[in-house]
Chains A and B, each alone.
Chain A
Amino acid sequence: DAGVIQSPRHEVTEMGQEVTLRCKPISGHNSLFWYRQTMMRGLELLIYFNNNVPIDDSGMPEDRFSAKMPNASFSTLKIQPSEPRDSAVYFCASSLSDPEEEQFFGPGTRLTVL
């Protein structure tokens, strides 16, 4: 069975450009999470969706960040405009309908903003 799929795996962009990260959760999973991983701050939850509805976006750093989940099989995380401090690895994770169920992580997108 396919796990969580993320694209692209690597993204290098220049400051000020728009960046869109994509995620396909595991089929049948109704909870979706976006995390950011940096050396300084570790793994941080950015936003949590349940049944395609954003439940908690308190971890989204600022208005430059936005996330959508138009359907149960697709989510995007957008940064506009990007800044060098956004450089990090961004993970998408999904779990069954109960969010306390195990979260399965995707392979991540390594973002570098020059």
Chain B
Amino acid sequence: GQQLNQSPQSMFIQEGEDVSMNCTSSSIFNTWLWYKQDPGEGPVLLIALYKAGELTSNGRLTAQFGITRKDSFLNISASIPSDVGIYFCAGRARGSNYKLTFGKGTLLTVNP
């Protein structure tokens, strides 16, 4: 089955720093999604990417769909304490209109 490798597993940064995390897949995806999960809550969609090479921003967040269609990255600029949480990538393969494969997540801690 498809596997997603998400890195890093965790990050501890100072407020104001930029953050970068990425996911790589063993197979091609048609869609890449990035979610954030706060403690005690379900994942919330941050950014959706649908085309290879696509670069999309949502406020201080920027994500890209890799041209090989096997990877994606998420950048957070000028981090703030409320950015704390677990960030997940998820991919949807061709022909799978509902099934998402999730990465294991990146735990982000921001020190004020």
Contacts and interface: CB of A to CB of B under 8 A. Distances in A.
Contacts of B104: 42
Interface string B29-53: 0010000000011111100100000
A54 interface: no
B100 A108 contact: no
A107 B42 CA distance: 5
A93 B98 CA distance: 12
Interface string A102-114: 1101111000000
Contacts of B41: 107-108
Chain B, interface SS category: loop
Chain A, interface SS category: strand
B44 A99 contact: no
A91 B102 CA distance: 14
A55 interface: yes
Contact of B48 (A31, A45, A93, A102): A102
Contacts of B97: 98-100
Contacts of B105: 42
A31 B44 contact: no
B87 interface: no
Nearest to A55: B98
A108 B42 contact: yes
Given A43-B88, A99-B97, A100-B92, A105 B43 contact: yes
Interface string B91-109: 0100001111011110000
Interface of A: 4, 31, 33, 42-45, 48, 50, 55-56, 91, 93, 98-100, 102-103, 105-108
